[in-house]
Structure 1
Amino acid sequence: MNMTQRRTREKAWERPFLAEPEHVAALRRAIRLRLTRWDLPALADAAELCVTELITNVITHVGVSTPTWIAVSMTGTHVRVEVSDPDAGALPTPLWATSTQEHGRGLHLVAAIADRWGVTPTDHGKTTWCELATGVAEPMSSPVDGPRATRAGALLTLYSARSTASTATSKLAFATAEAAAIDLIVDVLHWLDAHGCDPDDFLDRAQSRYEAMLGLGAGQLLHR
Structure 2
Amino acid sequence: MPVSSVVRPTGHPGYSETLPALEESADAARNLVRIALATWHLDELTDSGILLVTELVANAVKHTNTRSIRVIVSRPSERFVRIGVTDKARVMPEMAKPGDDLLTSGRGLLLIDALADRWGTDMYRWGKQVWAELHCEPAA
TM-score of Structure 1 vs Structure 2, range by shorter chain: 0.7 to 0.9
Q: In the aligned structure 1, how far is the partner of 2:83 from the partner of 2:115?
A: 12
Change (3 A) 1:99 1:92: closer
Give the alignment partner of residue 51 of structure 2, picking from 45, 49, 53: 49
Q: Residue 12 of structure 1: CA displacement?
A: 1.0
Q: Say which structure, 1 or 2, has more relative contact order (CA 8 Å, 6+ apart).
A: 2
Instruction: Say how many residue pairs are matched.
Output: 129
TM-score, normalising length: structure 2 = 0.83
Equivalence for 2:110: 108
Report which of the two has the higher share of strand: 2
Change (3 A) 1:15 1:24: same
CA RMSD of aligned residues (A): 2.0
SS in 2 for 1:21: coil
* 2:15 and 2:32 in contact (8 A); partners too: no
Equivalence for 2:75: 74
Query: Does residue 29 of the first structure (1) align with residue 49 of the second (2)?
Result: no
Moved over 2 A (4+): 7-11, 96-100, 135-138
Equivalence for 2:101: 98
Report which of the two has the higher share of helix: 1
* 1:11 and 1:72 in contact (8 A); partners too: no
Alignment of 1:77-156 (within 5 A): 77-88=79-90, 90-96=91-97, 97-100=100-103, 102-136=104-138
Using the aligned pairs only, state the percent identity.
Answer: 33
* 2:95 and 2:110 in contact (8 A); partners too: yes
Residue-by-residue CA offset, 1:164-186 (whole Å, 9 max, x unaligned): xxxxxxxxxxxxxxxxxxxxxxx
Unpaired segments ≥5 residues, structure 2? 1-7
